[in-house]
Structure formats: C-alpha cells, structure tokens
Chain A
Amino acid sequence: GAVVSQHPSWVICKSGTSVKIECRSLDFQATTMFWYRQFPKQSLMLMATSNEGSKATYEQGVEKDKFLINHASLTLSTLTVTSAHPEDSSFYICSGLRATNEKLFFGSGTQLSVL
C-alpha cells in the first residue's frame, strides 16, 4: 500500500530555534498535502492544506509566518516551525492525498517538545 514517511518522529529543541518536519510520499504522487496538529487531550486539527507548487492555505488561527509549509514536489512537503516556543509543543502529522483515487495516506507523526 501507499506509504507516507514522516521525519523526525520526535524532536526536542530550545525555545527560539526552528524545526523542520519532512513528509515524503514514497510510492505515489501527493497532489495535496495536509498538515495537522494535536495538543494533549485535544482532537487532531487541520493546520493547512498545500497543493504542489502553490502557496499553502492556512486554517483560521494558524500563523503562516510561523508555520512555513513548502510543497515543492509531488512527493515532498515540509513544515518548518520557526522560532519555536513551548506553546508550539504538540504532535504534528501530515497526510498526502493520492490523486488517482482521492485516498489519504498518513505519516506516523512528529512529537515536538520545545524547552
């Protein structure tokens, strides 16, 4: 089956640093990538939608200058958390939409802890 590889699976960083999370669709082309986050004891929430080659669309309340999304190719999307703060500590997960059958495939997530 189709696979989305997400790295790193966990990261600890100091406040003020930037962290990049990478998602690759290994055996299909993801025309659309979705990025989600989940705070403790809360539901997974959509952060942004990105289509290959165009700017991401952010959900209300998500700062686009803080969460930089790059979807430069049909197999790679990255989320960079810039100047991370402790309140950005969360579980981040990506999913790729396979255009051929409109199915979603998920990375396994990244647990970010900002000290």
Chain B
Amino acid sequence: KQEVTQIPAALSVPEGENLVLNCSFTDSAIYNLQWFRQDPGKGLTSLLLIQSSQREQTSGRLNASLDKSSGRSTLYIAASQPGDSATYLCAVHNNDMRFGAGTRLTVKP
C-alpha cells in the first residue's frame, strides 16, 4: 500500500527566503506526482504535475523535482512571499491517489 509522507509538517520563514518542501512515497510505480496548495477552508489548487517519465517541472517561482527510484519529490519555492502562506500537499497517482498530510507554510512579512 502506497504511503506518502511530507516533511516538515510546518514551516515558518521570513519573506524572501528560498525554501524546500519534501515528499516521499513508498511505491515507485506511479503514473504521476502532483503538488497542490490548499488555502484555509478551500479546496486544492494544482501547482505542478510531474509525469513518471519526467524529472522536474517549473512554474514561475516554483520548481518540483521527482526521483522515482528513491521515492522522493521536492518542491522548491524561490523568493517566498506572504501570499505563499498555505498548506502544500503532494499526491502520487498509480491505481489510486494518495496524499501526504501536507506542510503548513507561513511566510512572515
């Protein structure tokens, strides 16, 4: 059974810092991995989708990498802003979809 773990569970940084969020999974037979953000009381917003054949994806200040063999993905956020404050979740998709518990990010002005 696929297990997805996210570290750290919470992170607080001053504005402008670069930061890395980590996601690990136990079964490397995945179709894809996605990163989302969740704002309080809201649903998910898709950030980046990495297919199993890809190693990374970039969108603006966000960069996500995927290393299937080691069961890891990282989400890199450059020059963090207070508007980046949210919970970030990763999810891996093979026959079903499994989510990590999320990293709660606070970016202080």
Contact = CB atoms under 8 A, between A and B. Distances in A.
Interface of A: 9, 32, 34, 36, 38, 41-46, 49, 91, 93, 95, 97, 102-104, 106, 108-109, 111
Nearest to A34: B43
Interface residues of B, number: 20
A30 B83 CA distance: 27
B16 to A, nearest CB: 27
Nearest to B41: A102
Query: Per DSSP, are chain B's interface residues mostly helix, strand or loop, or mixed?
Result: strand
Interface of B: 32, 34, 36, 38, 40-41, 43-44, 46, 49, 51, 89, 91, 93, 95-99, 102
Contact of B34 (A44, A46, A97, A104): A44
Given A9-B96, A43-B49, 18 more contacts: A32-B41, A34-B43, A34-B44, A36-B43, A41-B51, A43-B46, A44-B36, A44-B44, A44-B46, A91-B93, A91-B97, A97-B41, A103-B102, A104-B38, A106-B91, A106-B97, A108-B98, A109-B96
